[in-house]
Amino acid sequence: MDLRTISESRCFGGVQGTYSHASTSTGTEMRLSVFVPEQGRSRALPAVIFLSGLSCTEENFTVKAGAQRYAAELGLILVAPDTSPRGPGVADDPAYDLGQGAGFYVDATESPWEPHFRMYSYVATELPGLIAGNFPLRAGALGIMGHSMGGHGALVAGLREQATFGSVSALAPIATPSQVPWGIKAFSAYLGPEAQRWRPYDATALVEDGLTRKDPIRVDQGEADKFLGEQLRPEVFAAACERAGQPVTVHRHAGYDHGYFFVATLVGEHLRHHAELLARR
């Protein structure tokens, strides 16, 4: 699959690039950023996909998280896709939490979203193949992480696609979307009103239904996050994991909110988590 180079810059000895391609999943042009550390010149490396949150593009994580320094030290490729299909022919909504910029990493089944909003297939199938075909990815060494809506997407894909993703983590994830306003609104629009159809895209529901991993999942949450009680609810996910025997660590951090300063503070710990698990594959 061909990539069009938008920009490439030297960064911590490696290359930080922004690219686009024609997506078979969404039927649109999709953008992504990729950082390849210097080690990638001579050998294949593990990679980590980062899924961003509501209203974000591939640029937020790339510019704000400061992750390239850690990836260069650890020898990790970093991949950050956009959060939804975009363009004049793509359905949208005036609200920030639905439509373009808010794909919720599901494959929509409802009009007008169904033709293009197939972000689950994009992340779970198309993107891993794109990375393997264009960058020095070590076979079988791919992790997934995300923030907020992206944390939801990472948990779901990590639970459902265990043959593809060898490590999973999330920062302030929407951990039980079927039970919170953001998720109920998005799932109702994209998947229809039947709550049973939402369960494949709810990490807590997946664990409750018996889908678990052997390796630990890492979650970090700021205690000053204004969305914690109403929209995120990581304690519900943690309780489901405990009942199901899913190894999970939920680290709570006093004083931290939902923004990218929180992400930047913890991104190094998350990338070390992935590097350790992916080294075993």
CA distance 236 to 176: 7
pLDDT tens, 168-188?
999 999 999 999 999 999 999
Per-residue pLDDT, 281: 85
Residue 2 has pLDDT above 90, yes or no: no
| Block residue for tokens 């951990």 | 175
CA distance 36 to 78: 7
Find, among 256, 260, 250, 266, the residue nearest to 70 by Cα.
Answer: 266
Do residues 21 and 30 touch, judged by C-beta distance below 8 A? yes
**Cα dihedral sign, 266-46-26-206:** negative
Q: What are phi and psi of 145, to 5 degrees?
A: -145, 170
**Cα dihedral sign, 97-213-134-59:** positive
Residue 1 has pLDDT above 70, yes or no: no
Do residues 123 and 164 touch, judged by C-beta distance below 8 A? no
pLDDT tens, 104-119?
999 999 999 999 999 9
Pairing between β-strand 77-81 and β-strand 45-51 as defined by DSSP bridges: parallel
pTM of the model: 0.98
CA distance 115 to 90: 8
pLDDT tens, 162-171?
999 999 999 9
Tokens in use for 75?
């020898």
Pairing between β-strand 167-171 and β-strand 248-253 as defined by DSSP bridges: unpaired
Do residues 210 and 159 touch, judged by C-beta distance below 8 A? no
Query: What is the chain's mean pLDDT, rounded?
Result: 98
pLDDT tens, 126-160?
999 999 999 999 999 999 999 999 999 999 999 99
Which residues are part of the catalytic machinery?
148, 225, 258
DSSP designation for 216: P
pLDDT tens, 209-219?
999 999 999 99
DSSP designation for 165: -
pLDDT tens, 149-158?
999 999 999 9
pLDDT tens, 18-33?
999 999 999 999 999 9
Beta strands in 26-108 (DSSP E): 29-36, 45-51, 77-81
- Rounded average pLDDT over 79-95: 97
